[in-house]
Amino acid sequence: MKVSWRMKCNAKIGFACLLLFTWLSGCVSVPSSNIIKITPEIDFRLTPPPKYLISTSFSQLVEMDYAGKKQRFIAQVEFRAQEIVLAAVSASGVPLFDFIWHVGQPLLINQYVPLPGLDINYIIADMQWICWPIEYLQASLQGDDVAVKEHRQENSENWQRVLTQGENIIYTITKENNIYQLEHKQRNYRIKITNLNAEEL
């Protein structure tokens, strides 16, 4: 039977759609060097969870604004020895993505819907900037004239962390009660995380 050009074209489109669906819904292994570029001159090395966080989990409302593009989702985060596991769903309960980050291994990502502009590596880095002790962050930074300082309110669990290079402010991270706000001044990137657990990080 003679196959028409239109049938061939439709078959190719169908195959391409199948590949796209498989890519979006399947588990994708992404090579990782565990080094995140905060700026072209500043590197941040991802590190495993501190001992006091291992075997803990948190539910968080994540609101992101990157160059005018907004993302909002609920994340369930689990910290294991050498691993960070995160599953994200929309506010209405639709699965968006999940990943497993493990020291020295490829990042495993399941992405269920297209999320343009969302970089999983930066989500992991931001999580560490919010949750890790200040001394971990200081040890993980590489760059000339780079410093990170933490200012704590007296008799309070609230604090602010500021990353600078010379006179330039790169990051500010503020904790007020159960809300964390991070702003990357140079990348025009903001993230607000509200901890939904009864206990705080």
pLDDT (tens place) for every residue of the chain, 201 residues total: 444 434 333 433 333 333 233 333 344 445 456 899 999 999 999 999 999 999 999 999 999 988 778 889 999 999 999 999 999 999 889 999 999 999 888 889 898 988 766 788 888 999 999 999 999 999 999 999 999 999 998 888 899 999 999 999 999 999 999 999 999 988 888 999 999 974 545
Closest to 163 in 3D by CA, of 129, 194, 119: 129
The pTM is what? 0.79
First to last CA, the chain: 67
* All domains of the chain in start order, with CATH: 5-195 (2.50.20)
Q: Which residues 6+ apart lie within 8 Å of 200 measured at CB?
A: 157, 177, 178
